[in-house]
Chain A
Amino acid sequence: MIDRTNLSLLVLLPAAAIAGPAAAKDYLTVAEAQRVLFPQAEAFAKLPITLDGDQLSRIKALSGVRQREKQPQVWRALKAGGGVGWFIVDDVVGKHEFITYAAALSPDGHVLGVEILSYRETHGGQVRDAAWRSRFKGKTLADPFKLDKDIPNISGATLSCRNVTDGVKRLLALHRVALAGL
């Protein structure tokens, strides 16, 4: 006799049948993002930097969010021996995994561009759309960086949008505290 419990469990198994391993969503390498954000640059010089407690506090005060990494990944974009901007790779909390993105900042501290390197969440892949990322261009620390105000929200990915938005503002704060004047 067929076990009716096992038969009834069949209602649960179609979901398993359609499950398949998903590829990690790594869209750009660091080198690729550097070329996209600074096409004019001839070289990138990694800047070894360690933030002290005072700098971390000032970044939080300026941006409203904490700087997790004491040693951020920062490169100076170079052309003809001079700096044309800063390239920073950063992680923010996504719903389940960190979102890795890169921001290009001008020497005077405004956003030149943002690229998503890794995004693995169920919804909200639109954060990779050029139209959404373009909303960051030209922003400075004086801008509000508020979802549904100067940055549009993406439904189903509000946490990711908020954290990328806060993250870009935090990198502008990092620029003011640790990079401006170098």
Chain B
Amino acid sequence: MRLRALTATAAMMLTMAVGLDARADENLFGYVKGAETLPKGAMEAYAWTTVRSDKGQGHYRAVDVETELEYGLTDRFTVAGALQFLSIDTSGLIIDGYLPKAESYAMKPSGLELKGKYNFLSPAKDDIGLAVQATAEYKWRDPHSGQDKSTLSANFDLILQKYFMEGQMIWVGNAGLEATYADRAPIAGLPAGFDWPTDPEMEIELKAGTGLSYRFAPNWFVGAEALYETEFETEVGQERWSIFAGPNLHYGGEKWWATLTWMPQLAGGGEMYAGQTDTNLHLIEKTKQEVRLKLGYNF
């Protein structure tokens, strides 16, 4: 599985390297969003790879891949559709209610996503940029356990962006709310008493993020971003909270851009699994480490 993840990353790096001589556009951050939209008629293709690893015990590595196509309907409104894929390799860790058994498979389709983003204020023209993004997502695989689980989510983000130093430094701030309806498929052969609820449940997630990016050389930006997430669920109330933060590196040319972000979990809480030793982190639905590579191509 490690070899497959590295292969995936190598393929992405190759993809990036092929385009390195080109000149491109956008997406300075891996996790937080900017407020700008594509101009009318413009199109952008994205490929993201996120590697989530290490739950403190056993072995856990999940790779999310998302391919997305975004189109500028007007100068202020863009729409996008995405296909999601998941590969997972976990063993040596069972978490009651969440991680029922060891699992290992290569990339499989896992979800669909539709997005709409509207820009109210331009960060380059107004004192501060403001946009809202609405997302509808349907997943049929649980991103944590890799098991069959249907989730339907609606996500709403408020996005702020501010240029400093004539645009050489960029700040963004995000706040988001996600509501999810989840329904797990039963799993045969689980140990007696193992909790794997198959009744539908509702989850509400709140998110806040911020990032700062600085262009240190033509086409190259270095930055940092942080993301706070907390989730409330039907039975347990606040199920989790976590703070991820880390550096990013962005290359933007005329047609291509690439962003690499390392986001370790700095703090977390809420539910813990039995025997969890890292008591200052949330490691049931989150991992200790995340690395994301995003690539974009402008048409």
List the A side residues contacting B218 at CB < 8 Å.
Answer: 96-98
- The answer to whether A5 touches B8 (Cβ under 8 A) is yes
Question: Separation in Å of the B295 CB from the closest CB of chain A?
Answer: 7
Most buried by A among B25, B85, B254: B254
Question: Separation in Å of the B125 CB from the closest CB of chain A?
Answer: 5
Please, what's the 1-or-0 string for A5-46, where 1 marks a CB less than 8 Å from any CB in chain B? Answer: 111110111011011111011000000000000000000000
Given A5-B107, A162-B125 in contact, is the A156-B38 Cβ separation under 8 Å?
Answer: yes
Of A5, A19, A147, the contact of B18 (CB 8 Å cutoff): A19
Choose, from A51-59, A108-116, A120-128, A174-182, the stretch at the interface: A120-128
A106 CB-CB contact with B under 8 Å: no
Of A19, A121, A147, the contact of B297 (CB 8 Å cutoff): A19
- The answer to whether A95 touches B256 (Cβ under 8 A) is no
What CA separation (Å) do A9 and B253 show in the bound complex? 23
Give chain A interface residues in 139-182, CB to chain B under 8 Å: 147-148, 153, 155-159, 161-163, 166
List the A side residues contacting B190 at CB < 8 Å.
Answer: none
What CA separation (Å) do A24 and B21 show in the bound complex? 10
B45 CB-CB contact with A under 8 Å: yes
B187 CB-CB contact with A under 8 Å: no
List the A side residues contacting B256 at CB < 8 Å.
Answer: 19
List the A side residues contacting B125 at CB < 8 Å.
Answer: 147-148, 153, 158, 162
Most buried by B among A3, A5, A15, A98: A5
User: How many A residues touch the partner, as a band?
Assistant: 35 or more
B155 CB-CB contact with A under 8 Å: no
- The answer to whether B7 touches A166 (Cβ under 8 A) is no
Of A12, A92, A121, the contact of B65 (CB 8 Å cutoff): A12
What CA separation (Å) do A147 and B14 show in the bound complex? 40
Question: Separation in Å of the A170 CB from the closest CB of chain B?
Answer: 10
What CA separation (Å) do A134 and B143 show in the bound complex? 55
List the A side residues contacting B4 at CB < 8 Å.
Answer: 3, 5-6
Of B122, B168, B253, the contact of A22 (CB 8 Å cutoff): B253
B234 CB-CB contact with A under 8 Å: no
List the A side residues contacting B22 at CB < 8 Å.
Answer: 19-22
List the B side residues contacting A4 at CB < 8 Å.
Answer: 106-107
What CA separation (Å) do A92 and B165 show in the bound complex? 11
What CA separation (Å) do A65 and B163 show in the bound complex? 13
Task: Please list the residues of chain B having a beta carbon within 8 angstroms of any beta carbon in chain A.
Answer: 4, 7-8, 11-12, 14-15, 18-19, 21-26, 38-40, 42, 45, 47, 49, 65, 67, 72, 75, 83, 85, 87, 106-108, 122-125, 163, 165-168, 215, 218-219, 252-256, 295, 297-298
